[in-house]
Amino acid sequence: MHKTGLLGLCARAWNSVRMASSGMTRRDPLANKVALVTASTDGIGFAIARRLAQDGAHVVVSSRKQQNVDQAVATLQGEGLSVTGTVCHVGKAEDRERLVATLWMDKEKEESMKETLRISRLGEPEDCAGIVSFLCSEDASYITGETVVVGGGTPSRL
């Protein structure tokens, strides 16, 4: 490929990435996704929670203090976003387990998501362990810049 052809291809690819990251190409790119965001009641975490919810995900915000969780949830729900929250100190195993167990407690929501995504079960933390181990191993030493989706067949695009 000529130099100008390659430059044009790169420019088109960059424009596509830029448009996708700004939300210009499609609406609700995170529809049917659930995002657990720790330390998400203020600052960077709160901004991330807001953006994920604006992009269509249902977001579970968390913090060590119930008052902060309540305030963040009220603010984001007041903006019409799909958000719930729970107290979570990530240094405590029982808090982390409760955080993960939190818009799977709603069986109706779980069944709806399985039907929408056409999957037989929701993922478990262990479902991610094998690919993480592989990516950390020498077997993956020549893999760079890839996105690996552990989503049970759920369609995924950047």
CATH classification of the domain holding 60: 3.40.50.720
Rounded Cα distance between 12 and 144, Å, is: 21
Strand order in the sheet with 83-87: 34-37, 58-63, 83-87
**Better-predicted residue by pLDDT, 14 or 125:** 125
User: pLDDT, tens digit, for every residue of 77-122?
Assistant: 999 999 999 988 878 888 777 777 767 567 777 787 788 777 888 7
**Better-predicted residue by pLDDT, 6 or 117:** 117
Residue 157 is predicted with a pLDDT of 64
Residues 100 and 125 in one domain: no
Bridge partners, residue 62, by sequence: 86
HEC states along the chain? Answer: CCHHHHHHHHHHHHHHHHHHHHCCCCCCCCCCCEEEECCCCCHHHHHHHHHHHHCCCEEEEEECCHHHHHHHHHHHHHCCCCEEEEECCCCCHHHHHHHHHCCCCCHHHHHHHHHHHCCCCCCCCHHHHHHHHHHHCHHHCCCCCCCCCCCCCCCCCC
The reply to whether the predicted model has a pTM over 0.75 is: no
Residues 32 and 81 in one domain: yes
Domain membership flag for residue 23: no
Residue 85 is predicted with a pLDDT of 93
End-of-domain residue from the set 72, 89, 104? 104
Residues 49 and 116 in one domain: no
Please tell me the total count of domains within the chain: 2
End-of-domain residue from the set 59, 77, 104? 104
User: pLDDT, tens digit, for every residue of 47-79?
Assistant: 989 988 988 889 999 999 999 999 999 999 999
Domain membership flag for residue 115: yes
The residue range of the domain holding 80 is 28-104
